[in-house]
């Protein structure tokens, strides 16, 4: 059970993460809004004609970009959280798990703050929120659990083998294009759809699109896949962390 001291620690670490992220930056938090907006403009001008059959292509891309940025930032921050906080870990008696969890909390906070201006933009693009909008809340929670589990697994291994973070940064762009963010699945021949569905992010983005683009509830089978993937991945990350935790302090 987390006590008041633990909650304060996580909150203070998350607040510190946000401050460090935008330290000495002129635009500050505005970068969280600007980055997906730039990608949206690029994809719209390059691909909107090619995907003329997609109703409201700009909204389609935007909903994917917002959640891709959350996933990419969260995993990147958590994977290096042990290494980047090595000075604190070695000198202060702080639970090492606090660093990846606080990184997740800070990215959830960034997602929430980013969502406010993007909801306005989504409304301008023709999105009319319905009751299905609230489905995005449990979808976000499940994606956060998946991101934490995956990054905790990779981040723990990264303490012992620093190539892991480099490998992840290399694979990130490929994973981006394997996820239907700027294109529709219709572009891919149906016989290859099973390959795309091997990508766990497929199901989360399908659910996000249902809620924020189609204004409908994600299918039941999508919920089952997300639940299974999230908790199995978290179990893998937790097991790896607990197994290798004794050596983290001496190896960071």
Does 242 or 45 have the greater pLDDT score? Answer: 242
pTM: 0.88
Query: What was the pLDDT predicted at 25?
Result: 55
pLDDT, the chain, mean: 86
Residues 6 or more apart whose CB falls under 8 angstroms from that of 175 comprise: 199, 201
Q: Which residues of 103-130 are buried (b: 16+ CB within 10 A; e: fewer)?
A: bbbbbbebbeebbeebeebbeebebeee
Per-residue pLDDT of 29-77, as tens digits, reads 566 667 777 778 887 787 777 777 788 888 888 889 989 999 999 999 9
The per-residue pLDDT for 5 is: 59
Every domain of the chain and the residues it spans? 4-251
C-beta of residue 57 within 8 angstroms of C-beta of residue 44: yes
- Most confident region among 16-20, 62-66, 181-185, 217-221 by mean pLDDT: 217-221
pLDDT of 222 above 90: yes
What pLDDT is attached to residue 242?
A: 94
Helix (H), strand (E) counts: the chain: 12, 0
Q: What percent of the chain has pLDDT over 90?
A: 44
pLDDT band (50, 70, 90) for residue 141: very high
pLDDT tier for residue 1 given thresholds of 50, 70 and 90: very low
pLDDT for residue 86: 84
pLDDT tens-digit readout, 149-203: 999 999 999 999 999 999 999 999 889 988 988 888 877 788 888 888 889 999 9
> What DSSP string runs through 37-87?
HHHHHHHHHHHTTTTTTSTTHHHHHHHHHHHHHHHHHHHHHHHTHHHHTHH
Q: Average the pLDDT over each of 10-14, 181-185, 239-243 and give the range with the smallest value.
A: 10-14
Longest Cα separation, the chain? 58
Give me the pLDDT at residue 22, please: 61
């Amino acid at each position: 059970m987390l006590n008041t001291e633990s909650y304060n620690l996580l909150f203070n670490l998350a607040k510190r993460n946000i401050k460090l992220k935008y330290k000495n930056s002129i635009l500050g938090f505005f970068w969280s809004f600007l980055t997906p907006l730039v990608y949206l403009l690029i994809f719209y001008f390059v691909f909107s004609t090619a995907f003329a059959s997609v109703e409201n292509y700009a909204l389609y891309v935007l909903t994917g970009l917002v959640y891709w940025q959350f996933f990419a930032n969260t995993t990147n921050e958590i994977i290096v959280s042990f290494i980047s906080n090595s000075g604190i870990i070695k000198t202060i008696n702080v639970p090492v798990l606090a660093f990846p969890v606080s990184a997740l909390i800070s990215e959830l906070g960034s997602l929430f703050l980013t969502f406010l201006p993007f909801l306005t933009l989504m409304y301008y693009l023709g999105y009319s929120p319905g009751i299905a909008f609230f489905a995005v809340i449990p979808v976000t929670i499940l994606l956060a659990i998946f991101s934490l589990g995956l990054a905790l697994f990779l981040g723990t291994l990264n303490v012992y083998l620093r190539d892991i973070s480099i490998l992840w940064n290399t694979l990130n762009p490929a994973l981006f294009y394997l996820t239907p963010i700027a294109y529709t699945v219709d572009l891919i021949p149906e016989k290859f759809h099973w390959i795309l569905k091997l990508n766990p992010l497929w199901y989360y983005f399908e659910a996000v699109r249902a809620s924020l683009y189609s204004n409908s509830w994600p299918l039941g089978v999508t919920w089952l896949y997300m639940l299974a993937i999230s908790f199995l991945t978290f179990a893998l990350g937790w097991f790896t962390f607990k197994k290798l935790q004794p050596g983290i302090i001496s190896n960071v």
